[in-house]
Amino acid sequence: LILGEGRGFEIAQGRLGPGRIHHCMRLIGMAQRSLELMSQRASERSPFGRTLDTYSSIRQEIAHSRCEIEQTRLLVLSAADKMDKVGNKEAKDLIAMIKIIAPNMALKVIDRAIQIMGGKGVCGDTPLAHFYASARTLRLADGPDEVHLSQLGKNTIKKYAQI
């Protein structure tokens, strides 16, 4: 027995926060690798006589991706720090935020990478198609966005309505 008889649910609940941190870290890693692949492809591919990286729209897509990855990385770090310092219960809103933000960010970045890669982005030559399927699955793994958005909204209203 771990912790004691009849305490299985308590153990499972205690692992939800750290599990979500782990999922979000994996999503950040997938997005980071996608950013690297799209940047490499943009500097190599010359479809109309000049490389993709010379187009402002491509640079903007890459810049947006980098910003979104860093924002998510910092939010996940903040959630992990709060969990360490005050526990999962006090960090529940930040945990909900990362569950909403990380999969959506990863899907956007991976999709941009696929678009820049063209057909190569959806074949087995790159991990992008696998990343996309994994990120989409993780978006549902701990409950759909609507559940987390609803609870976060409820908690936020409660917090600020009392001021």
Among 31-40, 55-64, 85-94, 104-113, the minimum mean pLDDT is found in 85-94
Calculate the CA dihedral of residues 103, 26, 23, 128 and round it to 10 degrees: 40
Mean pLDDT, rounded, for 151-160: 94
In the structure, what pLDDT confidence band is assigned to residue 12 with cuts at 50, 70 and 90? low
Q: What is the pLDDT of residue 16?
A: 53
What sign for the dihedral angle of Cα 92, 94, 97, 98?
Answer: negative
Burial (0-12, 13-18, 19+ Cβ within 10 Å), 3: exposed
Band (3; pLDDT cuts 50, 70, 90) = low
Q: Where are the domains of the chain?
A: 13-161
Residue 12, by phi and psi: left (phi above 0), alpha (psi -120 to 50) or beta? Answer: alpha
Distance CA(31)–CA(128), nearest Å, equals 9
CATH superfamily of 13-161: Butyryl-CoA Dehydrogenase, subunit A, domain 3 (1.20.140.10)
Tell whether the model's pLDDT for residue 63 goes beyond 90. Answer: yes
3-state secondary structure of 70: helix
Pairwise pLDDT comparison (91 vs 2), residue with the higher score: 91
Per-residue confidence (pLDDT) for residue 162, from 0 to 100:
86
Quote the CA–CA distance of 124 and 74 in Å, as a whole number. Answer: 31
What is the tens place of the pLDDT at every residue in 97-141? Answer: 999 999 999 999 999 999 999 999 999 999 999 999 999 999 888
